[in-house]
Amino acid sequence: MGSTTTYVEENTSTLNVSNRLPWVGLLALAMAGFVCILTESLPAGLLPQISQDLHVTEALAGQLVTLYALGSLLAAIPLTAATRGWRRKPLLLLCITGFLVFNTVTAWSSIYVLTLAARFLAGVSAGVLWGMTAGYARRMVPEPLKGMAMAVAMVGTPLALALGVPAGTFLSNFVGWRLIFGIVSVLAAMLIVWVLWKMPDFDGEPRGERLPLHKVLLSPGVRPILAVVVAWVLAHNILYTYISPYLAVTALGDRVDVVLLMFGITSVIGIWVVGMLIDRLMRWLLIASITVFILASLAMALAIHQPLIVLTAVSLWGLTFGGAATLLQTAIAKAAGKSADIAQSMLVTAWNLAIGGGGIVGGLLLELLGSGFLPGSLFVLLLPALLTIVFARKSFS
């Protein structure tokens, strides 16, 4: 591997002596995740402005979110498979450049179809980025620090949801939605410089070690993890997508912003806790996270007229979900070994399917049973996920 091998050996030696993380590189990955989640989520808070500016209905403006998710969903597995022999740093730069270009097009486009195309291609960039982030972070550190490195690399996601999206929505009232997307493009440009300046590079997966997709899927431990991903993320998105209708039947109906802020803050705390403990207690963290989520959702269902209990339950929900991506990505990276990037792309696909499913299943439950039933319904998904973690011990060790 030449200079790359030298870097890894030197860096690993330093880490073994000082027990310190390569913060500059890991935070660059976190920043990439921050840009990715901002790009994905911003339209949800800007729909009225976007629909008015593009002369379409809010429902059609909402398809900017759908096309992004579709791009991620369709691209994650095939493009990760196609690029697994590429060096990691150029591939990372290509993904970030995608965010720069396609957010810029979104900011300038006055043609609805062109905007949709830009959103789809931004989603393609995201699908490849999420497929490689976990493996990149884990290769930067020795074995005892791999989980903590993952937690640092993933911190951009809850920060984007807790701070970036609300800030972008607020600022758009003063500067317009197009400038907000322009700011995200500037962040991407700054990140390109950051990666070129300080990011280590690694070889891609050698041709002789590339397992076919079906063999990765059949690797011991991979399928139980994917099943937990679908159940957990589906349950989360059923409730998160329709949190406003749920809160409307509580005493917190006019404080959705405060509730989501509490969720965001506790999510950040959750990923910090996971980062501290994951290398020693990953399986127990998974069991505790889903158990507490079950209890929180039941509390939200049974104490619907007790605002303090509801707010506490939402905070616990955020605390348990903040580290979900880190826990699940670490588990599947361990299970897949050298095929970690392909397994991660499968996780990304399962995650996006669950996000889309949350909107559909939650909408059906909302229409059939009412918003007050949503939290209690999650038990049907979360209990099997918990039992899978308990009994498929090797998958989550």
**CA-closest candidate to residue 198, choices 22, 65, 5:** 22
Read off the pLDDT band of 387 (50, 70, 90): very high
The two counts, helices (H) then strands (E), for the chain are: 19, 0
What's the CATH number of domain 3-209, 3.30.450.20, 1.10.10.1590, 1.10.10.10, 1.20.1250.20? 1.20.1250.20
Q: Which superfamily, per CATH, for 213-396?
A: MFS general substrate transporter like domains (1.20.1250.20)
For the segment 97-123, what is each residue's pLDDT rounded down to a tens digit?
Answer: 999 999 999 999 999 999 999 999 999
Average pLDDT, the chain: 86
CA 296, 356, 347, 12 dihedral sign is negative
CA-CA distance, 210 to 208, in Å (whole number)?
Answer: 6
Reported as type and span, the H/E element at residue 25 is helix 23-54
Mean pLDDT of 33-43: 89
Q: What percent of the chain has pLDDT over 90?
A: 40
CA-CA distance, 269 to 265, in Å (whole number)?
Answer: 7
- Please tell me which residue, 106 or 215, carries the higher pLDDT value: 106
Q: What pLDDT shows up at residue 7?
A: 37
CA-CA distance, 87 to 305, in Å (whole number)?
Answer: 55
Q: What pLDDT shows up at residue 18?
A: 45
Domain-by-domain residue ranges, the chain? 3-209, 213-396
DSSP 396: G
CA-CA distance, 275 to 360, in Å (whole number)?
Answer: 32
> CATH topology of 3-209 equal to that of 213-396?
yes
CA-CA distance, 181 to 36, in Å (whole number)?
Answer: 12
What letter represents residue 360's amino acid? I
Q: What pLDDT shows up at residue 211?
A: 63
Lowest mean pLDDT among 48-57, 145-154, 209-218: 209-218
* Cα separation values, 23 from 148, 241, 294, Å: 11, 33, 34
CA-CA distance, 301 to 287, in Å (whole number)?
Answer: 21
Examine the pLDDT at 31 and tell me if it is beyond 90.
Answer: yes
Q: What pLDDT shows up at residue 2?
A: 40
Mean pLDDT of 65-76: 86
Q: Retrieve residue 12's tokens.
A: 């690993």
Examine the pLDDT at 93 and tell me if it is beyond 70.
Answer: yes
For the segment 310-350, what is each residue's pLDDT rounded down to a tens digit?
Answer: 999 999 999 999 889 889 988 888 887 777 778 888 888 88
Q: What pLDDT shows up at residue 12?
A: 41
Q: What pLDDT shows up at residue 208?
A: 61
Q: Retrieve residue 223's tokens.
A: 């399928």
What Rg, from alpha-carbon coordinates, does the chain have?
21
For 190, residues 6+ apart whose C-beta sits below 8 A from its C-beta are none
Read off the pLDDT band of 19 (50, 70, 90): low
Burial class (CB in 10 A: 0-12, 13-18, 19+), 226: buried
CA-CA distance, 383 to 86, in Å (whole number)?
Answer: 40
Q: What pLDDT shows up at residue 210?
A: 64
Read off the pLDDT band of 214 (50, 70, 90): low
Task: Please state the three-class secondary structure of 300-362 as a single string.
Answer: HHHCCCCHHHHHHHHHHHHHHHHCHHHHHHHHHHHHHHHHHHHHHHHHHHHHHHHHHHHHHHH
Mean pLDDT of 151-162: 83
CA-CA distance, 155 to 245, in Å (whole number)?
Answer: 28
Task: Please state the three-class secondary structure of 83-94 as a single string.
Answer: CCCCCHHHHHHH
What letter represents residue 39's amino acid? T
CA-CA distance, 275 to 327, in Å (whole number)?
Answer: 9
* Cα separation values, 213 from 116, 119, 124, 336, Å: 30, 27, 19, 11
Q: Model-level pTM?
A: 0.78
Q: What pLDDT shows up at residue 154?
A: 84
